[in-house]
Each structure stands twice: as structure tokens, then as C-alpha cells.
């Protein structure tokens, strides 16, 4: 028996939100988002599979590859995930991205780590602020 308290306490309620920045139609539809290896290394490190949906058109759609922004061949968040009519500017929701995604967040290619926002009962509050460029450069001498 395996028990993962962190995952069961956190991941079920955590969702990562990305913005679609490019959509390329062809033999495979590629949807590039404003995140990737800097905020979710799990697919690249050990093949974790996530699901996703377009925030305003939930469920269904054609198989798409959800790609990160880092211009790396390995920066693929999800292969063959059904997304309904993805468009530039859409919010793409990736549920069940809990504490492990947060703990693996990094500054790959100078990416700033995203904020963490808690939401409940129609209200929200920022609990971890987005990194600034000043944060990125703070340790430089």
C-alpha cells in the first residue's frame, strides 16, 4: 500500500492556469502556453500524465499537444489531450497539479515562478506572490 498525504491533501484541489499564446493546426494541433518546464517538470522528469481543458469550453474536442514556452523539444506538458477549439488567449486549465508542481518550480531560461492563489466560496487570496525580475537578479554580484 502506498500513501501520499501531500498529494491527497493538496493535489485534488490545485489547478494550474495557462494562457494559450500560439495554436498551430496541422497533422497534430499544437497549443503553446505561457508556462512549461519552469512551473511543471513532472511530465519531463518522470512521465506524469495530466489532463487539461479550455476554461470557457470545458470537455471534449480534438487531441492536441500542450507545449511549454521554453523552445525545448522536451517541453511538452501533455500529449494528445482533447481541447475544444483552442484559440490564442484562451485560459487552459490543468487540474490536479498540487504541491509537487509547486516544489519543482524553477527559473529555467529566466522564467519567473508563478503566484499561488487560494480560492474558496467565491473569494480568492494570493498566498505566494509572482516572482519579479528583481527576485531573479537578487543573487547576481
- Catalytic residue of the set 64, 71, 101, 119: 71
Is 71 designated active site? yes
Helices within 1-141 (DSSP H only): 5-10, 42-46, 99-104, 133-137
Q: What is the full DSSP assignment across 115-126?
A: PEEEEETTEEEE
**Other Cβ atoms within 10 Å of 108 Cβ, number:** 15
The catalytic residue positions are 71
Amino acid at each position: 500500500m502506498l500513501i501520499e498525504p501531500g498529494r491527497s491533501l493538496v493535489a485534488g484541489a490545485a489547478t494550474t492556469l495557462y494562457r494559450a499564446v500560439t495554436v498551430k493546426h496541422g497533422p497534430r494541433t499544437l497549443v503553446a502556453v505561457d508556462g512549461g518546464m519552469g512551473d511543471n517538470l513532472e511530465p519531463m522528469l518522470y512521465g506524469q500524465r495530466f489532463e487539461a481543458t479550455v476554461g470557457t469550453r470545458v470537455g471534449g474536442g480534438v487531441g492536441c499537444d500542450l507545449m511549454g514556452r521554453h523552445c525545448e523539444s522536451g517541453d511538452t506538458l501533455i500529449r494528445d489531450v482533447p481541447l475544444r477549439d483552442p484559440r490564442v488567449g484562451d485560459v487552459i486549465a490543468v487540474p490536479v497539479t498540487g504541491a509537487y508542481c509547486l516544489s519543482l518550480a524553477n527559473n529555467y531560461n529566466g522564467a519567473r515562478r508563478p503566484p499561488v492563489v487560494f480560492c474558496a466560496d467565491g473569494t480568492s487570496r494570493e498566498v505566494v506572490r509572482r516572482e519579479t525580475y528583481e527576485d531573479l537578479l537578487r543573487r547576481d554580484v
